Amino acid sequence: MLQNQLAKGNNGLIKTKYLTFGIDADSIRAAKPRLERIETDLLNNFKRLGVVAEPLDGRARLSQLHGVFHMDEQVPFSFSWDWLAPSGLSTKDFIAPTSFEFRTGRQFRMGKKYGAVSFVQILAPELNDRMLADFLDMESSLIVSLHVQSLDQVKAIKTVKRKITDLDRAKIEEQKKAVRAGYDMDIIPSDLATYGNEAKKLLQDLQSRNERMFLVTFLILNTADTARQLGNNVFQASSIAQKYNCQLARLDFQQEEGLMSCLPLGQNQVEIQRGLTTSSTAIFIPFTTQELFQNGKEALYYGINALSNNLIMVDRKKLKNPNGLILGTPGSGKSFSAKREIANCFLLTTDDIIVCDPESEYAPLVERLHGQVIKISPTSGDYINPMDLNLDYSDDESPLSLKSDFILSLCELIVGGKEGLQPVQKTIIDRCVRLVYHDYLNDPRPENMPVLEDLYNLLLTQEEKEAQYIATALEIYVSGSLNVFNHRTNVNIDNRIVCYDIKELGKQLKKIGMLVVQDQVWNRVTINRAAHKSTRYYIDEMHLLLKEDQTSAYTIEIWKRFRKWGGIPTGITQNIKDLLASREIENIFENSDFVYMLNQASGDRQILARQLGISPHQLSYVTHSGEGEGLLFYGNIILPFIDRFPKDTELYRIMTTKLQELKEGKQS
């Protein structure tokens, strides 16, 4: 499936952009502080553009030059500064290709590659910003180099004024000729009239529109494995230039100078320049589309870039905060996106995966991955013991204190009204919790693990009337019709992928079920933390958790602390309004660096635009969009995506939640 998606884009071509800047100075000592100041300004400006840029050290620059000289060759770059003195070699020896050949004036050979350098003659008065993008979309290895040199403003204005004077002189000469020949003196060559107007417009731009003057050299280095293929590549590049009223001209007998000028060293050995203003030069800024393609072993597929058609492959663990949200209206593909990520995680990582499934949607996928589906319901034989205690719970906190905190939340959900548990009631519960685990802590065997009934019996033995009140409230969950949580755990909660199906828990039990699942997740995360293993937790219909104070508090805690424990939570919900219900819940949204946003309802779109700073154009990708289409937020990158998952795959049939497709699948 991924190979088919890859074929739709640029066949996996990777574009890298380097910016080399230099200054004239008397010595390195004088140049260094000025260069560092320029670097800081550049990085800050890139940040404002939303572009991630990082400076290269000497070794990284050498590696880049090695890549240019060994294009498309599987030759690893190995170098250390310590090798230079003992070997007597220079840095050039570590990056040079096997051979150079500049025999003809129109092309050259570099190792096994053929290459040709051409310069772009910019003839068009108006330039289009797609020109550079079209060059970069060519499906062959090429280097596009732009040498931009700024001119002193006073000098630039003087030059333009001098040109206007020359044009006026030529115009007067033409008018004299016209008078002598006896025809109208207003008839002058059209070139003179055009250039005169252009020069005056340029002078106006420089004097009053905050424009600067730049000298630009635009070079293109095409490469190929054969001379014939090289000719085709140069022809293709020439066609692109012509489309934008420019011309591609080979650097005859200057191929070596052209090659050296195409290296990211900031040295221009080709003395062919064209004067352009700031706005014309800015057309060539190569940031027309952002790409998200990470090469790591754990980079997962999230769709295709809607602008460039390239794969989006990212690793959430590389984010400062890997917490994520999947947002979208019903039918936009939220659950499907979550399942696709789960399947990817299972195949490409060693992470444990836990799913809280209130709609019974994930079981088919988990079963096919040989995971454990735990169906918690009054009629099911699968049991989870909420009293399970993990002795490896935390390094800095006692397992019993944390368990007591969980059982207080559980009792608050069962007993508490609007005010929750009273201080006396909390004290009684805490006392009984410490007593109920006494035998297990002395002899930690599974059969010594207490159940809810043990806590209930202990409460009955307490003298305070509050204890009797709590015990009475607990009775229905111990010996009454809702006793589903009064059993020892009888399922494999240690499976690598576990799905807690809580669909058939009634209204009374669903809240408790969600709280118990969250406690089980914390148990798994703490065990995995010791083993330096990540735990991914998917919460479908997350808004259900945010309605109750107890489950809401637990969820907020997960979003705040999970990262330090190697946890990666993902909340799946319909409305962003659910995440803005209170200042505390809003933290969930603010602590999520990964947001997978599908089609949004009108009210939610406005909130998201305000909260995330989405432009009206970007907002169009989540307005009445089809299923599997939307915006991906990865750190500070916002990218429109399309995820067209092939419907003829078995994986699609397992993951789909459409009733019609499920029906057809059963019939076939």
Sorted by where each begins, the domain ranges of the chain are: 320-381+492-668, 385-488
Strands 535-539 and 352-357 come out as parallel
Residue 277 is predicted with a pLDDT of: 81
Q: What phi and psi values does residue 313 have, to the nearest 5 degrees?
A: -125, 115
- The pTM (predicted TM-score) of the whole model is 0.73
Whether the Cβ atoms of residue 366 and residue 497 lie closer than 8 Å to each other: yes
Residue 635 is predicted with a pLDDT of: 85
Question: How many CA atoms are closer than 13 Å to the CA of 481, on its beta-carbon side?
Answer: 3
**Judging by beta carbons within 10 Å of its beta carbon (0-12, 13-18, 19+), is residue 475 exposed, middle or buried?**
middle
Helices (H) and strands (E) in the chain, counts: 26, 18
The C-alpha torsion from 608 through 611 and 615 to 619, rounded to 10°, is -10
| CA–CA separation, 334 and 539 (whole Å) | 11
Residue 667 is predicted with a pLDDT of: 47
Whether the Cβ atoms of residue 66 and residue 39 lie closer than 8 Å to each other: no
Whether the Cβ atoms of residue 569 and residue 539 lie closer than 8 Å to each other: yes
Question: How many CA atoms are closer than 13 Å to the CA of 609, on its beta-carbon side?
Answer: 16
Q: Which of 236, 261, 260, 230 is nearest to 248 (CA)?
A: 236
512 in helix, strand or coil?
helix
Whether the Cβ atoms of residue 654 and residue 364 lie closer than 8 Å to each other: yes
| CA–CA separation, 623 and 14 (whole Å) | 31
| CA–CA separation, 301 and 311 (whole Å) | 7
Q: Which two tokens stand for residue 135?
A: 């060059």
Give the number of residues written for the chain. 668
Whether the Cβ atoms of residue 470 and residue 431 lie closer than 8 Å to each other: no
**DSSP letter (8 states) at residue 14:** -
CATH class of 320-381+492-668: alpha beta
- Distances in Å between the alpha carbon of 418 and those of 35, 56, 307, 415, 421? 64, 59, 51, 10, 9
- Distances in Å between the alpha carbon of 494 and those of 28, 445, 500? 61, 17, 13
Whether the Cβ atoms of residue 598 and residue 328 lie closer than 8 Å to each other: yes
Could you list the mean pLDDT of each consecutive 10-residue stretch along the chain, which spans 668 residues? Answer: 69 76 91 93 83 87 92 86 92 92 91 92 76 82 90 85 86 84 76 76 78 88 93 94 91 93 91 83 72 82 83 89 89 88 91 89 90 86 83 64 82 74 85 86 83 87 86 85 83 87 80 83 83 89 78 81 86 81 77 89 82 82 85 87 84 75 51
Residue 287 is predicted with a pLDDT of: 64
- Distances in Å between the alpha carbon of 174 and those of 168, 177, 185, 187? 10, 5, 8, 9
